Amino acid sequence: MHKTDIPPKKLAILVSGNGTNLQTIIDKIEAGKLNAIIEIVISNVPDAYALERAQKHHLYNLTLLSSDYKSRTEYDTALVATLQQHGVELVVLAGFMRILADVMVNAFPHRIINIHPALLPSFPGLHAQKQALDYGVKFSGCTVHFVDAGTDTGPIILQSVVPVMQDDTEELLSKRIQIAEHTIYPQALKLCVDGKLSINGRTVLIQE
């Protein structure tokens, strides 16, 4: 089977904000550089600009509000059902500001990837750029990883290093890290889509 004969991987992109990583992924797919199709874009924030990006590219999108559900587990159960209805094979978190419940992680084992604006395992969780500046590190960056039951604890796929400048603010550092995100997230996604990754314990192996 030739590479061009491989059917595109069906993606779901989960978003909460501006959607710059979503846009990067859309651009790669439309340029023929990523063998994937975005089946659905889901946001937990109704006015997220990422939804407008999806609409501009005629992608099916919807909002799932946490306020409509009694618990995180109930929310994620509905999320899993929606993804399965659309035949999603790989879930991509692109600024999705929710911690996933076990029901979601168990439904898509090693099929959920996330990008975090720090060099994990350092500075997990929220405000990673501020954490890095407060700690006084000389280098920060971003990490693409598989999602597991912890918070930013899953096996690491790719990382990119971004120097911290002496006059950096949280905003300035965030912008430079975001530029790196737009490079390595599509790279990591392509490795996933092309079947180039395997996991041995905590180590993600990349097929040459």
Catalytic: which of 2, 116, 145, 182? 116
Active-site residue flag, 116:
yes
Can you say how many angstroms the Cα of residue 69 is from the centroid of all Cα atoms in its chain? 23
Angle at 29 between CA 115 and CA 78, to 5 degrees: 55
Cβ atoms within 10 A of the Cβ of 101, count?
Answer: 18
Q: How far apart are CA 200 and CA 202, in angstroms?
A: 6
Bridge-based pairing state of the strands 197-200 and 203-206: antiparallel
Sign of CA dihedral 187, 82, 71, 104: negative
Q: How many CB atoms lie within 10 A of CB 131?
A: 18
Contacts of 79 (CB under 8 A, 6+ apart): 42, 64, 104
93 Cβ partners below 8 Å, 6+ apart? 14, 112, 113, 114, 115, 147
Tell me which residues are annotated as active site.
Answer: 116
